[in-house]
């Protein structure tokens, strides 16, 4: 099986031993605590689940700047996006002590992790601009990722953590949320040697379905990991439970048996385009995947990134030896009226735009909200029904 990033074994920070975890939970109740941002809590979940191996906690400012500018930490480890605990105040917190990190997304704000504080620093405006500009390629606070980052505050609390739970993800998505180690175990149990991963924050329409099948065939993969984001999204995106239901129905009816794993991970979407695409590839390697699909405008939002910037970053900025996972580069996929099937548009040079069935996201949402059937060339009817029920319930 493919090696995890940065070592031979995963480094999940979740305390597996129940007795040790119970003891830590008891101790945490007496520690100074802060209610962290949703992003910081999601970082804790990813660290706990082994997706962010081999990191052992939150970065300090020097590492965050180095990662932002050069995609490597001060010790040389390749890493594309800062993983930080940024807050508004560190009052009552001292370097060299332990603190409890409380979850903002669960009622009662239970402790999600305990952190050893190795430094407390304040981000300057210049440092903030360096991080945002390099990671998001913009300082425009209309960008949802930039807005979320800026809203966290300026105080950076660095240090290793021990994770006590996986926030709301295990309880709300018991059939879907999986750690990197659990996915690796499932891949091994299936006997799969090659696995191609598909990232989604949206329901999967016919083009996505066929893209997964194309990628599996082209790479010779034994199976497909459909790996959906379960965390916070921007306003207007479809909630995770609806996406989960739609994807499961599609796989049940339209994929061969035992060729797909449907799983999810607990992270808030960054909408960081190319940089987030690299992070997506890295943690799919940690989950045991050998290939990763990157298509048009991967992890993007609005017009902040070029259509294929998330692919070219692997040529221009990612060292060839940085990751072992291979990228499957996909073009925009659409239903061809001429060929009566879904194709990648680059593979149909004789087509004009009117030869494809193309619907914008806005048009799709409008049709669903109005109770109008989506074209069968665009969406499977069973999937469209689930989405229509959701939109009409709003």
Task: List pLDDT tens digits, range 162-178.
Answer: 999 999 999 999 999 99
User: Mean pLDDT score of the chain, rounded to an integer?
Assistant: 95
357-373: average pLDDT: 81
Residue 365 pLDDT grade (very low, low, confident, very high; cuts 50, 70, 90): confident
Please tell me which residue, 202 or 101, carries the higher pLDDT value. 101
Listed range (11-25, 130-144, 150-164, 371-385) with the worst mean pLDDT: 371-385
Q: What does the alpha-carbon distance between residue 29 and residue 259 come to, in Å, rounded to a whole number?
A: 45
pTM: 0.95
pLDDT at residue 63 is higher than 90: yes
For residue 44, what pLDDT is reported?
A: 98
Beta-sheet strands, E only, within 6-110 = 33-35, 57-58, 86-87, 98-102
Task: List pLDDT tens digits, range 261-292.
Answer: 999 999 999 999 999 999 999 999 999 999 99
Q: What does the alpha-carbon distance between residue 91 and residue 207 come to, in Å, rounded to a whole number?
A: 51
Closest CA to 45 of 123, 120, 103: 103
Structural domains present in the chain: 18-167 (3.10.400.10), 179-265+271-393 (3.40.50.620)
**Contact assessment for residue 236 and residue 271, using Cβ atoms and an 8 Å cutoff:** no
146-174: average pLDDT: 97
For residue 358, what pLDDT is reported?
A: 82
Give catalytic residue positions.
Answer: 201-202
pLDDT at residue 364 is higher than 90: no
Q: What does the alpha-carbon distance between residue 292 and residue 325 come to, in Å, rounded to a whole number?
A: 7
For residue 235, what pLDDT is reported?
A: 79
For residue 202, what pLDDT is reported?
A: 85
């Amino acid at each position: 099986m493919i090696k995890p990033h940065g070592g031979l074994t995963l480094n999940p920070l979740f305390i597996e031993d129940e007795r040790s975890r119970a003891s830590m939970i008891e101790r945490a109740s007496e520690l100074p605590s802060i209610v962290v941002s949703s992003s910081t809590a999601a970082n804790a979940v990813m660290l706990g689940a082994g997706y962010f191996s081999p990191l052992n906690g939150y970065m300090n400012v020097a590492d965050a700047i180095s990662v932002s500018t050069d995609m490597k930490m001060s010790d040389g480890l390749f890493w594309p996006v800062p993983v930080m605990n940024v807050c508004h105040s560190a009052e009552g917190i001292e370097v060299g002590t332990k603190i409890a990190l409380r979850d903002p997304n669960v009622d009662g704000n239970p402790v999600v992790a305990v952190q050893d504080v190795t430094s407390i620093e304040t981000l300057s405006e210049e440092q903030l601009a360096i991080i945002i500009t390099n990671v998001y390629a913009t300082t425009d606070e209309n960008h949802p990722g930039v807005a979320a980052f800026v809203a966290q505050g300026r105080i950076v609390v660095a240090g290793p953590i021990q994770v006590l739970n996986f926030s709301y993800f295990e309880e709300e998505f018991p059939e879907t949320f999986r750690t990197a180690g659990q996915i690796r175990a499932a891949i091994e149990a299936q006997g799969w040697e090659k696995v191609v991963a598909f990232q989604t924050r949206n329901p999967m329409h016919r083009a996505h379905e066929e893209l997964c099948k194309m990628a599996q065939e082209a790479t010779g993969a034994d199976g497909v990991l459909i790996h959906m984001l379960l965390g916070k999204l921007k306003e207007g995106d479809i909630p995770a439970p609806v996406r989960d239901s739609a994807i499961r129905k599609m796989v049940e009816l339209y994929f061969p048996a035992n060729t797909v794993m449907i799983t999810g991970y607990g992270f808030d979407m960054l909408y960081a385009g190319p940089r987030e695409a690299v992070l997506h590839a890295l943690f799919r390697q940690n989950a045991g995947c050998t290939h990763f699909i990157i298509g048009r405008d991967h992890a993007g939002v609005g017009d902040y990134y070029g259509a294929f910037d998330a692919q070219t970053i692997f040529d221009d900025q990612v060292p060839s030896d940085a990751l072992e996972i291979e990228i499957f580069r996909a073009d925009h996929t659409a239903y061809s009226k001429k060929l009566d099937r879904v194709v990648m548009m680059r593979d149909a040079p004789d087509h004009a735009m009117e030869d494809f069935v193309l619907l914008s996201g806005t048009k799709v949402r409008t049709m669903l909200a109005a109770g109008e059937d989506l074209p069968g060339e665009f969406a499977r009817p069973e999937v469209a029904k689930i989405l229509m029920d959701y939109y009409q319930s709003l």
